[in-house]
Structure 1
Amino acid sequence: MNKNKEIFKIAILAALASLINLSIGNGSDQRVSLGIVVMIIMLHRDFSIPIIKTSIVTGVFVFLTRLIVFSTGGLLSTDIVLSYAIEIIFYLAYAFAYQLLVRKTESFYKSPLILLLILSDFFANTVEYFVRFYIYSREISHQSFWFLFVAALLRSFIIVVVYESIKDTSIETEDANTGLQIRLSQNIVSSLSRLMEDSSIEKNTKLVKEVEELKKDAEVLLKSFKG
């Protein structure tokens, strides 16, 4: 499938998922959104999709989706638009950390995935937090970093659980398809064997040779499935 189509697919799904969030603090910005969860799960399933480009497109889609939803129930202000726009930085920062820890550095591959995701999420949240601190001149508090860690932990846990569930389902489906192919190959070999024993074709040398070749091909195919 075209990579651009995949990117837009991820962006749309992540934008919709970003509307589902759990508040974990008193501030409106302290929440666990599922947008990044969807993006990372889909990127982790296909390493050929460019993560930085995807994160930018996804961040913009999330931003626009939030504006559209908010505008249906309230009046947009500069502060609201700016607050939502800063979320794009979160997606981009997460992408940089994820690419460095998971995709690029082979030495990290042996580390638990959930640990790398927590680090990526916490880094992205911290970057976003300091941007907000710089723009709004907010006071830095240790409690805020605790909320950032909890958000990173929850999101990373959800990503790992969902990803492993999807992976297991894919493996089961693949095994079922392989089993079906094996049974079909066995039936082909059996049918060709019976055909070889049919006296009505014994006198047709050309037909016998063709059946023998088909039987050999079917046996090779069967061995490849079993192997």
Structure 2
Amino acid sequence: MSKFKKLILGVIIVTLSSQFYIDMLFSDFRFTCAIIALGSFLFLNRDISPIIMSIIVSISIYIWRSIILFIANGFIIEVTGSYIPEIFFYIVYGLVLFILIRKKDSLDIGFCFFVTLLSDFSANIIEISIRIIYYNYTFYFNMLIYLLVVALIRSIAILIILIIIKYYRMLLLTSEHEKRYRKLLWLTMILKSEMYWMSKNMTKVEEVMSDSYKLFEEIRDNKNPDFWYKRALKIASDVHEIKKEYQLVVRGVSEITENRYKDSGMYFKDISKILEEKMQNEIRHKNLKVYFSIKRDSDFYTNKHYQLMSIFRNLITNAFEALSKNKRGSKITLIHESLGDKHVFKVIDNGCGIDKEDLEFIFSPGFSTKIDYETGHINRGLGLSLVKDMVENFFKGKIEVESSLGQGTCFQIYIPKKEIEVNI
């Protein structure tokens, strides 16, 4: 669902829920359930701006109440005028909520309760103040107690809703993980048989290489020239057989991963959670002093989650390798932005960076700057090459890199929305 459709749906839900209310303090001062719906909706949809949402909601509820009043009693300007302070209530609620959560990447339940309580109480104070100043209502101290109690009740209601939805989502996610795990076990079993044939072919490849070298030696030393053509024909025949067997393996793997076990797709927020969990486990396992975070601009649904995850995994793994194992303050951040008709993904680290002379070669197959001088192991250098190929040829996008030696690296990926999003 697009952000606009989600916003409209939220406004409708909140507006309708405003019809469930209790009149307290004054005849036209209502404690409605709308704020419970609004608070819950904003916490569950962080991509929706609280300010924009609250402004639209305030206008929508004002119009809705005026229409109901007109149908029931006709147009009464004094009554419709008394609804105006409620507009400021919703706007202040959204503003306070926005200020408190705007810099938070994740929100725990306790903080959500504090934010809703403060937002609700502050908004009610503003509304009461307007009514006292401009509508000549009488102030008494018990008002503050009433307002605090109502804010407390509504905040607890929002808290309960968030907890229920959180555990419901966890239940769904656990069920989905179990299904995926069973698929994974079955796929692994089948792939093991395919790997057997690949291992068997490795022996054949070594035999062909040996025969080829022997033929080279015979040609070089001019030995047995009458048998050269026969040996060359045998080598060609062996290579052809190896090729046929690898074609069968590739076809078998393709059928397994693409046809027999099609996945329905995933939301980006779920991809983010799985990726974050995996990376945090790796940080703990390797005892790294690294802060890893993911910042999402919006959510979308895709059936290309495997490819997307593969891109992120390669880039983040590269970022891990660029960081010093013992350096404090090491950070890796995956940032998502929705810009026009494109999704932009950035993987940023504050590691060792890449030399300017190497930047133009980092996407070349086999190129690597990662050498372990203690073991002599060198990275095979296929990760970034595959990432570039997948971004450009599979997603029809582009990848850019900016890096400063000793300061860090930023990979930026631009993917057209039509190539990645799926409507459900």
Question: How high is the TM-score relative to the length of structure 2?
Answer: 0.46
Cα distance in 2, alignment partners of residues 8 and 57 from structure 1: 9
Instruction: Note the C-alpha offset of 1:212.
Output: 7.3
Letter in 1 for 2:35: I
Please identify which structure carries the higher strand content.
Answer: 2
After the TM superposition, which residues 181-200 of structure 1 pair with which residues of structure 2 at under 5 Å, given as runs? 181-193=180-192
Instruction: Note the C-alpha offset of 1:159.
Output: 0.8
Instruction: Note the C-alpha offset of 1:135.
Output: 1.6
What SS is found at the alignment partner of 2:31? strand
- Between the two structures, name the one with larger relative contact order (CA 8 Å, sep ≥ 6): 1
Computed over aligned residues only, the root mean square deviation of the Cα atoms, in angstroms, reads 3.3
Q: Is this contact kept in 2: 1:18–1:35, CA < 8 A?
A: yes
Q: In the superposition, relative to structure 1, how do residues 105 and 178 fare at CA in structure 2: closer, same or farther (>3 Å)?
A: closer
Bigger Rg, which one: 2
Cα distance in 2, alignment partners of residues 126 and 38 from structure 1: 20
Letter in 1 for 2:14: A
Partner residue of 2:48?
49
Partner residue of 1:159?
158
What residue ranges of structure 2 are gaps of 5+ in the alignment? 202-240, 259-273, 279-424
Cα distance in 1, alignment partners of residues 5 and 160 from structure 2: 26
Instruction: Note the C-alpha offset of 1:211.
Output: 6.2
Instruction: Note the C-alpha offset of 1:161.
Output: 0.6
What SS is found at the alignment partner of 1:73? helix
Partner residue of 2:4?
4
Instruction: Note the C-alpha offset of 1:118.
Output: 1.1
Q: Is this contact kept in 1: 2:109–2:163, CA < 8 A?
A: no
Cα deviations by residue, 1:133-154 (Å, 9 ceiling, x for unpaired):
1221112111222221121111
Q: Is this contact kept in 2: 1:11–1:58, CA < 8 A?
A: yes
Letter in 2 for 1:61: S
Question: How high is the TM-score relative to the length of structure 1?
Answer: 0.81
Q: In the superposition, relative to structure 1, how do residues 130 and 183 fare at CA in structure 2: closer, same or farther (>3 Å)?
A: same
After the TM superposition, which residues 169-184 of structure 1 pair with which residues of structure 2 at under 5 Å, given as runs? 169-184=168-183
Partner residue of 1:205?
245
Partner residue of 2:326?
none
What SS is found at the alignment partner of 1:185? helix
Out of 29-38 and 61-70, give the one that drifted further.
29-38
1:90 aligns with 2:89: yes
What SS is found at the alignment partner of 2:75? coil
What SS is found at the alignment partner of 1:86? helix
Cα distance in 2, alignment partners of residues 157 and 83 from structure 1: 29
Cα distance in 1, alignment partners of residues 26 and 61 from structure 2: 19
Partner residue of 2:119?
120
Partner residue of 1:221?
none
Letter in 2 for 1:2: S
The number of aligned residues is 217
Cα distance in 1, alignment partners of residues 52 and 251 from structure 2: 54
Cα deviations by residue, 1:152-194 (Å, 9 ceiling, x for unpaired):
1111111111111112111211221121111122222334556
1:74 aligns with 2:73: yes
Cα distance in 2, alignment partners of residues 164 and 111 from structure 1: 11
Cα distance in 1, alignment partners of residues 249 and 186 from structure 2: 20
Q: In the superposition, relative to structure 1, how do residues 89 and 135 fare at CA in structure 2: closer, same or farther (>3 Å)?
A: same
